[in-house]
Structure 1
Amino acid sequence: MQMKVFATQDGKATIVCPQCGLTRRVDASSIYKHNKNVTVRCSCGHSFRVSFEIRQAYRKSTFLFGQYRKIMDDSTGPFRQMTVLDISQHGCRFKTPIAHNLQVNDLVHLEIPLTDARKSIIKVTAQVRYVESQTVGVAFVDFDGGSEKALSFFLLP
């Protein structure tokens, strides 16, 4: 079993031994440059695999129902349904219930209703960064109105 460990932008990560619970703070940036998958041996003797992932911003797991539409050269396509799996200040990952025609570098317009007290709706233009079957990862390019501020408040712990 491999444990995924997220590092902050400065490269610091916290590893917790699954056997004894011992916590250790490490500099993952030097490890990440060479190999993001390593085997760690705890002082209790337990060995386990760790995969490091360095992110620019906190990514929150979600289950939000929203909609997207592809922005084409001459027009925009129809809105289609999506489920937002996770979201950060810089982008999100969503899944479509049916096959789509999105490709890397396509521009899409997203509308994501949040579960905050104000029932905010994030409206943002995003660029597709990866596609794997019905799962799509996008980077936010341009927020509409107060969407960026609403997202910032939504992401607060």
Structure 2
Amino acid sequence: MVSALLKNDGSALVVCPGCQRQFKIKAPEFEKIGNGYKVSGKCPCGESFIISFNRRRHPRLGLEVSGAYHHLKHDYRGLITVRNISLSGVGIELNTQRLMLAGDRVTIRFNLNDEDQTFIERKAVIRRKQRKTYFGLEFTAETTPQDPLFSYLAQP
């Protein structure tokens, strides 16, 4: 399955999983499409695939780096794996199960997997618990263009 980010103008960039060719598709009906809508696609190279459309303010980048967290209310500390990241938040998996709820505040620390192993420390709010140890977090402060995370996510 291929994931395509829908933009506000109804366009989306689709990359063929076979040949990596990029297609910009645009249709007026796409403007009404919500998250998770799926259609079939076929590339001139012959590859057929399913396209899953996604509407996000900031696209996610898949990642797998280790780090640490500190739950501010209960003073929990532990290890995490950062599974994905965007300008507005992260998806993390805890090393051990803990009682944490939507709305709780945490501080996370980890190094990016870039050449410099850039250190990131962010305060965040738990937005959703997706599995026993997997959480979606939203950063409490905006990521500015001067921030190393901004540069990391802007790389092609």
Give the TM bin, normalised by the shorter chain: 0.7 to 0.9
Deviation at 1:6, TM superposition (A): 2.4
Deviation at 1:12, TM superposition (A): 2.2
The one of 106, 109, 127 aligned to 1:108: 106
Counterpart amino acid of 1:141? T
**Cα RMSD after superposing both structures:** 3.2
Deviation at 1:116, TM superposition (A): 3.7
- What is the TM-score with the length of structure 1 in the denominator? 0.74
The separation in 2 between residues aligned to 1:28 and 1:119, in whole angstroms, is 41
Deviations 1:34-93 (A, max 9, x none): 454233354879875321012222422211111112121xxx513210000111111111
Aligned runs of 1:23-38 on 2, under 5 Å?
24-27=23-26, 30-31=29-30, 33-35=32-34, 36-38=36-38
Stretch deviating more after TM superposition (86-95 or 25-34): 25-34
Checking the alignment, whether the CA contact within 8 Å between 1:32 and 1:52 is kept in structure 2 is no
Aligned-residue identity in percent: 23
Checking the alignment, whether the CA contact within 8 Å between 2:61 and 2:85 is kept in structure 1 is yes
Aligned runs of 1:44-123 on 2, under 5 Å?
48-72=49-73, 77-123=75-121
Unpaired segments ≥5 residues, structure 1: none
**2:32 counterpart SS class:** helix
Stretch deviating more after TM superposition (59-68 or 45-54): 45-54
The separation in 2 between residues aligned to 1:25 and 1:115, in whole angstroms, is 29
Shift >6 Å, 4+ stretches: 19-22, 43-47
Residue in structure 1 matched with residue 141 of structure 2 by the alignment = 142
C-alpha distance 42-90 of structure 1, shift in aligned 2 (>3 A): same
- What is the TM-score with the length of structure 2 in the denominator? 0.74
Larger radius of gyration: 1
Deviation at 1:129, TM superposition (A): 1.4
Unpaired segments ≥5 residues, structure 2: none
Counterpart amino acid of 1:54? R
